[in-house]
Structure 1
Amino acid sequence: MSTISKSDQPLFGFLTSDFLRLCLAISIFAAGTWQEHVSIGYIVYELTDSEFLLALAFAVRFLPFLLVSNYIGYISDLVSRRTLLIILMLFGSVALFVMSFFITSDFVNYYVILFYIFISGSVWSSTMLTQQSYSYDLTGYKYSVKGIAITKGADRIGGMFGGLLSGILVMKNYRFPFIVSGFLQFISALILIPNSKISLYSPKNKTKPKLTEVISILKKNKILLTVVILSCGTEIFGFSHNSLIPVFVKDVLGGDGQDLGFMMSFRQIGGIIGLLSIVVFGSYIRKGLWLLFVILGFGISLFVLGFQNHYVYFVLISLFVNVFASSCDSLYQIITQRSVDNKDRGKAMGAWLFTIGSGPLGYLIIGLLSNFISNNIDNFSSIYNSIGPQMTINITGIILIIISLTFFKYAKKLKEVPA
């Protein structure tokens, strides 16, 4: 007998009550997650005053993508993704409360923070994979483009409010963002409890897959393999710029924690714009070609961002950076899930998340490069307020442009991916 409830039957395409509850849960969870992300970045830089140690902290957050993602993808193909998501959100909530207790007890230093960041990153990577696979379960192939873009939009909206709140709370007391985030993630788990245990388009695996099965999938599926390679490039030289944002706020723009919170929130508007473009035009533009243009725009906007010394201009260019970054992120997930069989979506998403694990390499590269430039080049004061982080962003932007142009020429199968 099916356990799918009547409320899970599509009323308006894919806007079922289960899907809407998922969007609400994602938004509230993201408010807690991004509030914690912004606060941790500010706290680490305040404690260490080191660009490299800040980059290292960001790198540790992304290690779980490398170590955990394949196992979570494997598990998500075997169990109810709704149940798995609830468990992950509750675990994240507990971790936040424990961290707030450590801060209250004054039992916190850089190494304790690194350990917490690894736990937080494990929850973040696991929920990211599970919630997008669950979104597909609720919408099916036909509406997967709109479904994934909308759930990512819910994440951005939550992140926008979380970023604003973090700037206020972290300036009052370091423990406040963790307490509030813990409650938000707990509430997000409760919201999903009424959802059906089995969704309309959940994979029905009758045989237990092998952990190594994803390797054979990558060998046979050239589109997925191309996405994985491209994703590594954009993680290392694109998304890694986020680790330098606290440095920009403090050293380039002369701001504080509230400025950082506002900037991270305002950047989310760019992300929402990028996702809306996918919802509106997703049925008309070839996804692979769109992805390559987005990566090109990502590189150009990063290159321009590195020259910004004025707060307003920096925030505005950051908005454009996030338009391309969020579009890139969503298109990766859309192409990944639509390029494989339904039973393999969890494993394919695990392979994509594994590439995000290359992020630590990017954070270490730009942290070292920024330090090297700061210590060895000092004759560009007329162009840069702080040459290390700014020139580093210029360089990563140029590399992204080269990557996109290279794949424009050689990635023929990717360019043929349909709308």
Structure 2
Amino acid sequence: MIGSPAGGWVRIRGVRLSSIPLLHLWAHHDFRYLSVGVFFHTLSMVGEQVVLGWYILELTDSALMVGVALGLRNLPLLLVGIPAGVVADRGDRVRLLQLSGVAMAVTAATLGVLVAFRFAGVWPALVLTFVTGCARALHQTARQSYAHDIAGADGLVHALALVALTSRVGGLFGSLLIGFLIARHGSAVAYLAVAAGYLASAVAMLPAQSNGRPSAADAGSVGADVFDFLTMIRRDRVLLHLMSLTAVAEVLGFSHQALLPSLARDVLRVGPVGLGVMTAARQVGGLAGIALTSGLGAARAYGPLFLTVLIAFGASIAALGLAGSFAVVLLILVGTNALGAVTDVLAQTLIQLAVPSGLRGRAGGAWVVAIGMAPLGQFQIGALASLFGVSAALGVNGLTLMTVGVAATLLVPRLRKL
């Protein structure tokens, strides 16, 4: 359910985001606050990725170290995703979004100051980036469950699509802005801009009110809740399969972003501004993917669509490895990330719908754990690129992702019935 402008409740059943759901979602004041917060959060999150990749590449001249840095950035998602989900189920999700935004702002500002005064080498940057990732894990679990609070199960895919849309717009601005700031003023100023965006995301949530209520079942310890949910994942094969495919998409698909700094500097020779444009192309592709997702009806045959898009996502990664010019790379990045965005929204939706309402935060945590497998992909693709080159690394990952998608389609019939 979602709030109507008059303060009542409207249930969405099988209608298109391009009409009634979009209007009702945007009319809900808490969803507007969430969207603004998501915009600034993603502006900084994507901008942080750009400046981190470029800064580490400048310090080390190593594609492998860029992969390590981006991997450590996402490692907290794997380590603390489920506990963060338990916290999101127990606590005030709005307050958690505010606190996590402030924490990310503090760590990014600290790193900016250290870079400005030449105190930051590789390891200080990696440690502070890891701390930021811990706060981001809490932010993402709270954000997903809060969107579920506002929209309800019937409107969930539309809510997540609209959140993703706002996120992609923020990422588009962030990639261009941070690429420009690196080129004109250096990494220190870029990090301070990232900190300002994170702080703005926290401020945007100040007027929002929490719609959720902690589950009555959450009277035990956090550790016990984590163990119980892990047991549920082990027993629920559908949830386990969804988490596994989401993790595979992260490891083999989304990891291509780790090679963008090397692709920009060493292959295409377009510098930090070109890297910003390439990252912006990813966001444009994401917007296109969200536009496709927005036309989906409520809870209708998401499973087959998820599997089909996953296979196409792998094919686009392989095609990226064959691109020979900057213009072609940009076009393929748009297509690749359109498919990636659809994969992402459908994975979140299917995982949320697979659990009871009292476990929304933990479902968000399960998704965060799945995408927390990204470091493995970033380490792996960085190592492949160092040994065999960027094109070979992209080709191997793309073809492997296609193979996994086809195997899941043929061997796991329950996924085709979702």
**TM-score normalised by structure 2 residue count:** 0.91
8 A Cα contact 2:255 2:374, kept in partner: yes
Shift of 1:264: 0.5
Aligned residue in 1 for 2:409: 408
8 A Cα contact 1:305 1:318, kept in partner: yes
- For 2:299 and 2:155, how far apart are their aligned partners in 1? 13
Partner of 1:77, secondary structure, is: helix
Shift of 1:395: 0.8
Aligned residue in 1 for 2:52: 40
AA paired with 1:65?
L
8 A Cα contact 1:56 1:363, kept in partner: yes
Shift of 1:19: 0.5
- For 2:262 and 2:297, how far apart are their aligned partners in 1? 36
AA paired with 1:76?
A
Consecutive unaligned residues in structure 1, runs of 5 or more? 374-387
Partner of 1:333, secondary structure, is: helix
Shift of 1:254: 0.9
For residues 254-287 of structure 1, the C-alpha deviation after alignment (integer angstroms, 9 at most, x for no partner) is 1100110111112201101111211112437511
For residues 215-268 of structure 1, the C-alpha deviation after alignment (integer angstroms, 9 at most, x for no partner) is 222133222111111122112211111101111111111110011011111220
Aligned residue in 1 for 2:146: 134
1:259-298 to 2 correspondences below 5 Å: 259-283=274-298, 285-298=300-313
Give the share of equivalent positions with the same residue, in percent. 26
**TM-score normalised by structure 1 residue count:** 0.91
Counterpart among 188, 202, 209 of residue 189 in structure 1: 202
Aligned residue in 2 for 1:379: none
RMSD across aligned positions (CA): 1.8
8 A Cα contact 1:78 1:208, kept in partner: no
8 A Cα contact 1:7 1:18, kept in partner: no
8 A Cα contact 2:97 2:142, kept in partner: yes
Shift of 1:10: 4.4
Counterpart among 325, 335, 343 of residue 310 in structure 1: 325
8 A Cα contact 1:240 1:359, kept in partner: yes
For residues 294-350 of structure 1, the C-alpha deviation after alignment (integer angstroms, 9 at most, x for no partner) is 111101101111011200000000100001111111111100111110001211221
Counterpart among 88, 92, 98 of residue 100 in structure 2: 88
1:69-148 to 2 correspondences below 5 Å: 69-148=81-160
8 A Cα contact 2:281 2:334, kept in partner: yes
Shift of 1:358: 1.8
Counterpart among 177, 187, 190 of residue 177 in structure 1: 190
AA paired with 1:95?
T
1:349 aligns with 2:364: yes
Aligned residue in 2 for 1:29: 41
AA paired with 2:392?
M
Counterpart among 364, 373, 384 of residue 358 in structure 1: 373
1:139-178 to 2 correspondences below 5 Å: 139-171=151-183, 172-178=185-191
For residues 37-79 of structure 1, the C-alpha deviation after alignment (integer angstroms, 9 at most, x for no partner) is 1111111111111111111111111110121111100100101
The structure-2 alpha-carbon separation of the partners of 1:46 and 1:8, relative to structure 1 and needing over 3 Å to count, comes to farther
1:220 aligns with 2:235: yes
- For 2:383 and 2:90, how far apart are their aligned partners in 1? 41
8 A Cα contact 2:96 2:138, kept in partner: no
AA paired with 1:367?
G
The structure-2 alpha-carbon separation of the partners of 1:10 and 1:38, relative to structure 1 and needing over 3 Å to count, comes to farther
Shift of 1:203: 5.2
1:205 aligns with 2:216: yes
Aligned residue in 1 for 2:350: 335
AA paired with 1:255?
V
For residues 186-239 of structure 1, the C-alpha deviation after alignment (integer angstroms, 9 at most, x for no partner) is 12211111111x31x555435425221112221332221111111221122111
8 A Cα contact 1:77 1:203, kept in partner: yes
Consecutive unaligned residues in structure 2, runs of 5 or more? 11-22
Aligned residue in 2 for 1:377: none
AA paired with 1:277?
L
AA paired with 1:318?
L
- For 2:249 and 2:327, how far apart are their aligned partners in 1? 26
The structure-2 alpha-carbon separation of the partners of 1:154 and 1:8, relative to structure 1 and needing over 3 Å to count, comes to farther
- For 2:182 and 2:217, how far apart are their aligned partners in 1? 49
Shift of 1:8: 6.0
The structure-2 alpha-carbon separation of the partners of 1:8 and 1:391, relative to structure 1 and needing over 3 Å to count, comes to farther
AA paired with 1:137?
D
8 A Cα contact 1:203 1:342, kept in partner: no
